[in-house]
Structure 1
Amino acid sequence: MKNKGLGCLLAFVIVALLVSLALNFVSFAAVLGMGLDSASIGYVEPKQKFRETLVEAGAAEAKDKIVRIDIEGIIASGPAGDLFSEGGMNVDAIQRALEQASEDKNVKAIVIRVNSPGGEVTASDNLYNAVKKAAAKKKVVVYMDSIAASGGYYLACGASKIVANETTLTASIGVIIQSLNYSQTFGKVGLETMTFASGKFKDTLSGSRPMREDEREYIQSLVSAMYDKFVGIVAKARNIDEAQLRTGVADGRVVTGKQALEYKLVDQLGYVEDAYALAKELGGAKDAMVVKYSLTPSLAQLLGIMGKAQASSTGKVELDVSDRLLPRLEAGKPYLLPAHMVR
C-alpha cells in the first residue's frame, strides 16, 4: 500500500509538471504573438549559429571545410533572415555567416554563390565590406550564377577571386534613382498638392509638380558621387585603370561571363565545382569537405509563429512572397540595378 501511494504521488507530480510546462509554453507563445520584443519580457535571444549541410564530401576523417554561402535575389536592408526562405539569408544574416566562417578554425576558405541583379546601394556596400573583411582573414571565392549584376558585382569586388559561368550576366556598373511624375494627370482631374517645406530641395522628386533644373543637377550629383565610389572600388579590386573603366564597360551595360573575363572583371570561367576547387587550392585544403550554411529557426521564432497563429481567428499563418517575384523600388532611393529591372 505504501509503495502504491508513493507511485500515485509521483504520477501526480509528473502530470502537474507537464501541465505547468504546457501552460508556460502557450503563455510564452502568446506573448511573442502579441508582438512584444525580447527586452520587454526579460529575454535576450542568443546569436544564431548556422546549420551546416554537406554539399561535397572530403577525404575520410578530414576536418577541413570550405563553406558555401548563398546570396539570392534583390539586395536590401531588412531583418536578419526570413524564416521560410531557403537558407533564410539576408544582409544581416550574410554578415553573421561570414563572421562565423571567419572564426571557425576548420574553415579554410569561403565560397559565396551570388545570384542577384543587385539592389540598394548601402546594402550592397555593407555586403562588399563584409566580404572584404572576411577575405582579409580567409580566402573568399565568389561564384557568379545566372546573374551577378550591379550590386551583385559590387560585393564580389571584396573577394579574393571571382569565378563566373560563361553565360552569367554581370557588370551593370552604375547607379540609378527613379521617381514618378504625375503632375499633368493632377491637372487634368483638377487636383493640386499643397506642400510646405523648410528648404527648396526638401520636396525634390515630388511627383506632383515638374522638376526644376537645379533639382535635376542636385539628384545627378548624388548619383555621380555614388557612381564614383563604385567605379573606384572596381578599379582597385580588379587593377584596372579608372579612366579606362569610365570610358568602357562601366557605362551601365550588362555583359556575359565570357565578356567579363575579357574586360578583366572576373578571374576565370567555370561552374560552382570549379569555385570549390579554387577555394580548396587557395586555402591549402585539397581534401576539405564543402558545406553549405543555412539558418535553423530559433525556439523564439517558432514560438512567435505559433503565437501569431493562435491569435489569428483563422488559425493560419499568411506569407507574402510577392516581393520575391519582382523588386519593389522605392522612389528616390538609389539602387545598383540593371535599368531593365527598373520601371
Structure 2
Amino acid sequence: MPFWLDIAAFALKALLIVAMLAALAALIARLTRRDAGRPREIEVRSLNERYEQMRDEFDTKIFDRKERRLLAKARKREARARAATPKGKRVYVLGFKGDPMASTVKQLALEIDAVLTVARPETDEVVLRLQSPGGTVTGYGLAAAELSRLRDRRIKVTASVDQVAASGGYMMACAADKIVAAPFALVGSIGVVAQVPNLHRLLKKNDIDYEELTAGEFKRSVSMLGEITPAGREHFRGKIEDTHTAFKSFVAERRPTADLAKVANGDVWLASEAVNLGLVDAVSTGDDLLFHLKDEARLFEVATVTRKTLLQQLFGGLGFEDRSALAPLGELAKAFIRIRNN
C-alpha cells in the first residue's frame, strides 16, 4: 500500500510542476503577444553633462583638493553666466541609421515632432548623425521630407556623416542646410537602380504557362514571371529616368554649388574629394563637430526608446535585459500553445 501512495505522491508533484510550468508559459505567451505596437517614448540626454562628468573624472585623478576647489568656483561662475543668457543656442542631436527600407523613418518623425515643440526658429539647431547606403525611393523620400519640416520652420539642420550617406542617404543629407563628413566617409551615388529577375524563359523551357491579366497598358510593364516586352521595358526605364531627374532636381535645389553634370552619374566620392565637388561643406567627424559645439551651445541628444514590456521588467532584475536571453522561455511558451491547440 505505501508503494502506491509513493507513486500517487510523485504523480501529484509532477502534475503540480507541469501545471506551474504551463501557467508560466501561458503568462509569457500572453505578455509576448503584447510586444507588438508598444508605445515609443522620447528620451532626452544632456551631452554637456556627459562631457562635464568625463572632465570631473579626470579632475579627481589629476588635481589635488585645493586645485579642484578653485576649478569648481570658476566653473560655477561660468555656469551662472550661461544661465543669465536664457536665449543661448541649443543644439538637438538626432541619429538615423538607415536600412534599404528606411524603416526607422517613423522614429525620426517622432523625434522631429519633439524638437519642434521646443526649438526656437533662427536660434536653435539640429545635428543629424546620418549613416545610410540608401534604399527605396519612397522610404528615403519621406525621410528627406521629414527633415525639411525643420528647415521650413527656420531651424538650421546640419547633417553629420561619419561613414556613408549614399543614394537615398545622400538625398536625406541634402535636406540639411549643411553637410559635414569624416575624411573617408562615402557620399554621393546620385542615381537610381531597379533590379527585377525574370523567369519567363525558364517557365517556357519547361512548358509552364503563366498568364498575367491586367487592365491598363502599363499596369505591369515589368514582371518576374511574364514576358517583358520592348514597350514595357522602355516604359519602366522611363520611370527610372523620371525618378533620377527628380533626384537631381532636389540636389540642385539644396546644393546649388554642386556640378550635377559631374556628380549625378551614380558614382560615390570620399568626403575629402566631395568638398571640391560641392557635395559636402566641411570635413570633420561627428564627434569633433559636437565637441566644438559644446562650448557655444547646450547640446541635447534626442532618441526614441521603446517602453519596456511587463515581461522585460519582470526578468530585467534577473539579468535578462537582452531580449535574446528570453528566447528559451519564448520557445517554451510556443510549445505550450501548440500542445494546447492540439
Counterpart in the other structure of 2:117:
103
CA RMSD of aligned residues (A): 3.5
CA distance in 1, matches of 2:223, 2:189: 27
Match of 1:52 in 2: 45
TM-score by length of 1: 0.66
Q: Do the aligned partners of 1:53 and 1:293 also contact (CA within 8 Å) in 2? A: no
Report the Cα offset of residue 31 of structure 1.
7.4
User: After superposition, where does 1:97-176 map in structure 2 within 5 Å?
Assistant: 97-105=111-119, 108-135=124-151, 136-176=153-193
Counterpart residue identity of residue 147, structure 2: V
Q: In structure 2, what residue type is equivalent to 1:180? A: P
- Residues 168 and 257 of structure 1 are in contact (CA less than 8 Å); yes or no, is this contact kept in structure 2? yes
Structure 2 segments unaligned to the other structure (5+ residues): 1-22, 53-77, 84-88, 315-325, 335-342
Q: How does 1:1-343 map to 2 (within 5 A)?
A: 30=30, 33=33, 48-52=41-45, 54=47, 57=51, 60=79, 65-76=90-101, 78=103, 90-105=104-119, 108-135=124-151, 136-240=153-257, 244-245=259-260, 247-276=261-290, 280=293, 286-299=295-308, 301=309, 312-315=330-333
Matches of 1:304 and 1:206, distance apart in 2: 45
Cα pair 1:68 1:291 within 8 Å, conserved: yes
**1:309–1:315 Cα contact (<8 Å) kept:** no
Tell me which protein shows more helix as a share of its residues. Answer: 2
Q: Output the TM-score relative to the length of structure 2.
A: 0.66
Structure of greater relative contact order (alpha carbons < 8 Å, 6+ residues apart): 1
Quote the Cα distance in structure 1 between the aligned partners of 2:264 and 2:27.
56
Conserved 8 A contact 2:91-2:297: yes
Number of equivalent positions: 265
- Counterpart CA distance in 2 for 1:189 and 1:234 is 48
Alignment deviations for residues 228-262 of structure 1 (CA, whole Å, 9 cap, x no partner): 11111111111147xx51x3110111111122111
Larger Rg: 2
Contact 2:102 2:143 in 1 (8 A): no
C-alpha distance in 2, partners of 1:130/1:73? 14
Gaps of 5+ in 1: 1-22, 39-44, 79-89, 317-343
For residues 32 and 93 of structure 1, the distance between their equivalents in structure 2, rounded to whole angstroms, comes to 22
CA contact 1:57–1:290 (8 Å) conserved in 2: no
* Aligned-residue offset at 1:162: 0.6
The code of the aligned residue for 1:314 comes to L
For 1:271, the aligned partner's letter is T
Contact 1:142 1:275 in 2 (8 A): no
2 CA distance for matches of 1:234 and 1:36?
Answer: 38
- State the SS of the aligned residue for 1:314: helix
Task: Check the 8 A contact 1:76/1:91 in 2, yes or no.
Answer: no
Paired letter, 1:216 = R
Residue 9 of structure 2 is matched in structure 1 by none
